[in-house]
Amino acid sequence: MGFCSALIVMFMASFGVVLTVEYCTLCAFDSCIESHACLDEDLLNATGCISFWISYNGNLNLSYAGCWEPSFGSCEELIEYEQLQGFDAVCSICYNDNCNVGYFLAPLTKNTVQTKLLDSSDCGQIGFEGSDKLNSHLGSLRLRAALDDKRGYSLDIIFREIKWNKAHLRLSQENEMDLSICKVYSRAHDAAQVSISEAIDSCFNFEHYNSSVNYLLDFMAELDTDILYKNLVFNFPNVANFGNDTPLQNRAIFCSVDISSNYDIYLNIQALPLMYNVTYYKVEVFKIKGGSNILLDVRMLKAGLEPELSFEFITYNDEGYYFFQISAVNDICPEDACLKSISATIYIRRRYPPLVIGIVGASFLIPCILFMFHMWNRRNQPVDKNEEAQSTIYLVYSQTPEKHYLIVKALEKSLKNLAKVQIVSNISEASHIIYICGTHIFQPDPIVHKHLVIEANRAISSVEILVVCLPYSTKEMPPYLKKCLRFNLMEDFEKLIHLFCCDVDFSSHTQYGELDAQVKAAQIHTEPKKIILNMPVIIVTEQSDTEPEPKEADVLL
pLDDT tens for residues 292-319?
Answer: 999 999 999 999 889 999 999 999 888 8
Rounded alpha-carbon distances, angstroms, from residue 109 to 165, 220, 553 = 14, 24, 103
For the chain, domain boundaries: 88-213, 237-374, 392-531
- Is the pLDDT reported for residue 426 higher than 80? yes
Q: What angle do CA 186, 203, 120 make, to 5 degrees?
A: 60
CA 456 from centre of chain: 35
Q: Which residue has the higher pLDDT, 111 or 457?
A: 457
Question: What pLDDT digit, counting tens, does each position of 11-35 carry?
Answer: 333 333 333 333 333 334 444 444 4
pLDDT at 195: 75
The contacts of residue 391 (CB under 8 Å, 6+ apart) are: 419, 421, 422, 431, 432, 500
In this structure, which topology does domain 237-374 adopt according to CATH?
Immunoglobulin-like (2.60.40)
58 φψ region: left (φ > 0), alpha (ψ -120 to 50), beta (else): left
pLDDT at 555: 46
The structure's pTM equals: 0.51
Q: What is the dihedral of CA 16, 18, 21, 22, to 10 degrees?
A: 180
The contacts of residue 481 (CB under 8 Å, 6+ apart) are: 435, 452, 456, 465, 467
Provide the 8-state DSSP code for 291.
T
pLDDT at 207: 65
- Is the pLDDT reported for residue 68 higher than 60? yes
Provide the 8-state DSSP code for 556.
B
Helix axes 402-418, 510-526, angle to 10 degrees: 160
CA distance linking residue 483 with residue 393, whole number of Å = 19
Where are the extended beta strands (E) located within 86-175? 88-95, 114-118, 140-147, 153-162, 166-173
Do the domains at 237-374 and 392-531 have one common CATH topology?
no
CA distance linking residue 176 with residue 236, whole number of Å = 17
Where are the extended beta strands (E) located within 330-403? 341-342, 346-348, 392-396
> Across residues 82-97, what is the average pLDDT?
68
Rounded alpha-carbon distances, angstroms, from residue 396 to 391, 408, 451 = 16, 10, 11
- Strand-pair category, 176-186 with 114-118: antiparallel
161 φψ region: left (φ > 0), alpha (ψ -120 to 50), beta (else): left
Provide the 8-state DSSP code for 358.
S
C-beta separation of 105 from 79 below 8 A: yes
Say which CATH class 392-531 falls into: alpha beta
At 432, which helix (H) or strand (E)? strand 432-436
Mean pLDDT of the chain: 75
> Across residues 271-295, what is the average pLDDT?
94
